Amino acid sequence: MQAERGISDGVSAAPTPGLRGFVHSYDGYRLIGFEPGVHLGLPSPYLTVVLTLDGPLTVNRASGSGSFETLAGGISMAAVSLPHNGNQHGVQISLTPLGARTLLGMPTAELGDQVVDLYDVIGSDATELHERISDEPTWSGRFAICDEVLARRSADIEVEPDVRRAWGRLVSDGAARVSEVAEEIGWSRRRLATRFWAEYGVSPKDAVRLGRFHEAHRLLRHPRIPTLADIAGSCGYYDQAHMAKDWRDMAGMAPSEWRRSDALAVAQDS
């Protein structure tokens, strides 16, 4: 599509049915001719795998910077900065925490909030993925390659059912109370927090914040959005001020400022 200052072309797709417990979505993106700037990689309840198609992607974090042709990023409570020259092209794979276990071979907590070269996690499969999608001209073909390679990596690994259940409840309900979820599964809050840190690397309370923030982010990326007060209410925030505080903590800016400043994110979804 033609955007205000450039061209945005991309598509989202679900993985093959056998991977849907592990992969939330595939997103192919190609943005050309925008003003150089900084795109923010915002927190979410999913791990991120990126396969670039136009050269390395630079990632700036509080702990340091790096450039990657393929990367794996864990679950973080803070945004990362992605400087760009106005052009981006690649495939992003959003993994569930169970996908970290079955496809990356590690619990989410082991990757933590790091961003690392995908090769360091899955070895030659990362090289194969990158080379094959680079040679494939269509989004559907690229996603089929991802399906094939990831399905081959799938292992029969289970996460403790109560931990999975608690995660699902907390990230899907922005108004969830940690004490009530702990009571539902018959655990103390302390036991729930201990198991969460061991598996996910975040606290139960942070899981709720991630779920709320991710839903607000999704709504704010649409070309036409409800009022900020309506978004706050639908996502489980107490009010608009509560949402603005979470955005300042996790994105470094208010939601309205993010929408004005991050042209690539809005163009990609529109």
Mark which of 135, 153, 171 sits at the end of a domain: 153
Give the torsion through C-alpha atoms of 247, 248, 249, 252, to 10 deg. Answer: 110
Do 19 and 112 lie in one domain? The reply is yes
**CB-based contacts of 92: which residues, under 8 Å, 6+ apart?**
26, 27, 28, 29, 48, 49, 50, 51
What is the pTM (predicted TM-score) of this model?
0.92
The CATH number of residue 175's host domain is 1.10.10.60
**CATH number of the structural domain spanning residue 73:** 2.60.120.10
Q: From the CB of residue 217, how many other CB atoms can be counted at a distance below 10 Å?
A: 21
The single residue listed with the structure tokens 């990757």 is: 111
- The pLDDT of residue 264 is 61
Report if residue 1 sits inside a domain.
Answer: no
Q: Which two tokens stand for residue 184?
A: 């539902």
Q: Which residues contact 209 (CB under 8 A, 6 or more apart)?
A: 77, 246, 250
Query: How many domains does the chain fold into?
Result: 2
Q: What is the mean pLDDT of each run of 10 residues along the chain (270 residues)?
A: 64 95 95 88 96 93 86 95 91 96 95 95 97 97 98 85 95 94 95 96 97 95 87 95 96 90 59
CB 31 within 8 A of CB 268: yes
Pull the structure tokens for residue 131.
């080379």
The reply to whether 120 and 166 lie within a common domain is: no
Last residue within a domain, chosen from 98, 124, 153: 153
- Residue 133 tokens read as 């999608």
Matching residue, tokens 């992003």: 92
